[in-house]
Chain A
Amino acid sequence: MTERLVLLALIIAAMSGVPGLLFHRNSTAGQWIAVLLSVASSSLGITGLGLFWALGDSQPITLPWRLPGAEFSVAVDGLSAIFLLPVFLISVLGNIYGLGYWNQTKHPQNGRKLRLFYGLLTAGMAVVVIARNGILFLFGWEIMALSAFFLITTEDDKKEVRNAGWIYLVATHTATLCLFAVFALLRAASGSFALVPFENHGIEPAMATTIFMLGLVGFGIKAGIMPLHVWLPSAHTVAPSHVSAVMSGVIIKMGIYGQFRLTSLLPTPPLEWGAIVLGLGAVSGVLGVAFAIAQHDLKRLLAYHSIENIGIILLGLGLALIGRSLGRADLIVLGLSGGLLHVLNHALFKSLLFLSAGSVIHGAHTREIDELGGLAKVMPWTAMCFLVGAVAICGLPPLNGFVSEFLIYLGLFGTLGQEGQVPFAGAAFAAAALALIGALAAACFVKVYGAVFLGVARSQHAQQSHESGPTMIGALSVLVACCFLIGLAPLLIVPILEMGIAAWAPDLNEKGHRIAALAPLNWITVMGLLLIATLLLVGMWLRARLRKGGVAATVTWGCGYMAPTPRIQYTSSSFAQMLVGLFGWALRPRMRQPTHMTLFPRRADFHSEVADTVLDKAILPTFRFGAWLFSWFRVFQQGNIQTYLLYIFVALIALLLWR
Chain B
Amino acid sequence: MTTVIHHTIHVLLALSLPPLLLGVIAKTKAQFAGRVGPPVLQPYYDLVKLFQKGSVYSTTTTWVFRAGPVVGLVTAALAVLMIPLANSSAPVSFTGDPILFAYLLGLGRFFTASAALDTGSPFEGMGAAREVTFTCLAEPAFFLGLLVLAKLSGTLQMGTMLGAAVAHHWSSAGASLALVLVSWFIVLLVENSRIPFDDPNTHLELTMIHEVMVLDHSGPAFGMILYGASLKLFIFGALIARLIFPPTNGDPWLDWPIFVLSTLAVAVMIGVIESTMARLRMTHVPVLLVTACLFSAFGIILLVR
Asked whether B104 lies within 8 Å of A397 as measured between CB atoms, the reply is yes
B82 CB to closest chain A CB (Å) equals 9
In the complex where A391-B107, A542-B224, A545-B220 touch, is A410 in contact with B71 (Cβ < 8 A)? no
Is A189 an interface position by the 8 A CB rule?
no
B88 CB to closest chain A CB (Å) equals 17
Is A23 an interface position by the 8 A CB rule?
no
Residue of A406, A550, A553 touching B99 (CB-CB under 8 A): A406
In the complex where A542-B221, A569-B120 touch, is A396 in contact with B113 (Cβ < 8 A)? no
Q: Per-residue CB proximity of B207-238 to A under 8 Å, as 1/0?
A: 00000000110011100100000000000000
Q: Which of A531-558 contact B (CB under 8 A)?
A: 531, 534-535, 538-539, 542, 545-546, 549-558
A551 CB to closest chain B CB (Å) equals 5
A563 CB to closest chain B CB (Å) equals 13
Asked whether A413 lies within 8 Å of B156 as measured between CB atoms, the reply is yes
Residue of A419, A535, A558 touching B70 (CB-CB under 8 A): A535
A20 CB to closest chain B CB (Å) equals 40
Asked whether A556 lies within 8 Å of B58 as measured between CB atoms, the reply is yes
Asked whether A396 lies within 8 Å of B122 as measured between CB atoms, the reply is no
Q: Which residues of A contact B215 (CB under 8 A)?
A: 557, 559
Is B276 an interface position by the 8 A CB rule?
no
A402 to B107, CA, bound (A): 11
A443 to chain B: closest residue by CB: B132
Asked whether B133 lies within 8 Å of A578 as measured between CB atoms, the reply is yes
In the complex where A451-B117, A557-B216 touch, is A432 in contact with B60 (Cβ < 8 A)? no
A305 CB to closest chain B CB (Å) equals 15
Is B32 an interface position by the 8 A CB rule?
no
Q: Per-residue CB proximity of A401-415 to B under 8 Å, as 1/0?
A: 010011001100100
Q: Which residues of A contact B99 (CB under 8 A)?
A: 405-406, 409-410
A556 to B113, CA, bound (A): 16
Residue of A446, A455, A539 touching B120 (CB-CB under 8 A): A455
How many chain A residues have a CB neighbour from B under 8 Å?
82
In the complex where A391-B107, A397-B104, A523-B94 touch, is A454 in contact with B139 (Cβ < 8 A)? no
Residue of A419, A450, A545, A568 touching B114 (CB-CB under 8 A): A450
Asked whether B56 lies within 8 Å of A553 as measured between CB atoms, the reply is yes
Asked whether A432 lies within 8 Å of B121 as measured between CB atoms, the reply is no
A243 CB to closest chain B CB (Å) equals 29
Q: Which residues of B contact A410 (CB under 8 A)?
A: 95-96, 99, 156
Asked whether A531 lies within 8 Å of B224 as measured between CB atoms, the reply is no
Is A428 an interface position by the 8 A CB rule?
yes
Residue of B54, B69, B74, B114 touching A534 (CB-CB under 8 A): B74
Residue of A374, A419, A542 touching B220 (CB-CB under 8 A): A542
Is B253 an interface position by the 8 A CB rule?
no
Residue of A434, A443, A519 touching B135 (CB-CB under 8 A): A443
Is B75 an interface position by the 8 A CB rule?
yes
Residue of A387, A428, A436, A539 touching B139 (CB-CB under 8 A): A436
Q: Which residues of A contact B67 (CB under 8 A)?
A: 539
In the complex where A377-B62, A555-B59 touch, is A570 in contact with B75 (Cβ < 8 A)? no
Asked whether A431 lies within 8 Å of B143 as measured between CB atoms, the reply is yes
Asked whether A432 lies within 8 Å of B140 as measured between CB atoms, the reply is yes
A622 CB to closest chain B CB (Å) equals 33
A450 to B115, CA, bound (A): 8
B294 CB to closest chain A CB (Å) equals 11
Q: Which residues of B contact A449 (CB under 8 A)?
A: 114, 117
Asked whether A455 lies within 8 Å of B122 as measured between CB atoms, the reply is no
B133 to chain A: closest residue by CB: A578
Is B136 an interface position by the 8 A CB rule?
yes
B97 to chain A: closest residue by CB: A523
Q: Which residues of B contact A455 (CB under 8 A)?
A: 60, 117-120
Is B300 an interface position by the 8 A CB rule?
yes
Residue of B70, B97, B100, B124 touching A542 (CB-CB under 8 A): B70
A355 CB to closest chain B CB (Å) equals 20
Asked whether B57 lies within 8 Å of A419 as measured between CB atoms, the reply is no
Asked whether B135 lies within 8 Å of A439 as measured between CB atoms, the reply is yes
Interface centre among B113, B125, B150 (most CB of A within 10 A): B125
A556 to B123, CA, bound (A): 11
Is A524 an interface position by the 8 A CB rule?
yes
B257 CB to closest chain A CB (Å) equals 29
A333 CB to closest chain B CB (Å) equals 14
Query: What are 11 residue pairs bridging A and B, where the CB atoms are less than 8 Å apart in the complex?
Result: A396-B103, A446-B128, A449-B114, A455-B118, A538-B74, A549-B219, A552-B56, A556-B58, A570-B128, A578-B129, A582-B136
Known: A409-B96, A554-B59, A568-B122. 13 other contacts (CB 8 A): A439-B132, A439-B135, A446-B114, A454-B62, A519-B95, A545-B220, A554-B57, A556-B61, A556-B120, A556-B121, A559-B123, A578-B133, A579-B136
Closest 6 CB pairs of A and B: A570-B125, A450-B117, A455-B120, A425-B304, A443-B132, A435-B143
Tell me the A residues contacting B by CB distance below 8 Å.
373-374, 376-377, 383, 387, 391, 394-397, 402, 405-406, 409-410, 413, 416, 418-419, 423, 425-426, 428-429, 431-436, 438-440, 442-443, 445-447, 449-451, 454-456, 519-520, 523-524, 527, 530-531, 534-535, 538-539, 542, 545-546, 549-559, 564, 566, 568-570, 574-579, 582
Tell me the B residues contacting A by CB distance below 8 Å.
51-62, 64, 66-67, 69-71, 73-75, 77-78, 92, 94-97, 99-100, 102-104, 106-107, 109-110, 113-114, 116-126, 128-130, 132-133, 135-136, 138-140, 142-144, 146-147, 150-151, 154-156, 205, 215-216, 219-221, 224, 286, 293, 297, 300, 303-304
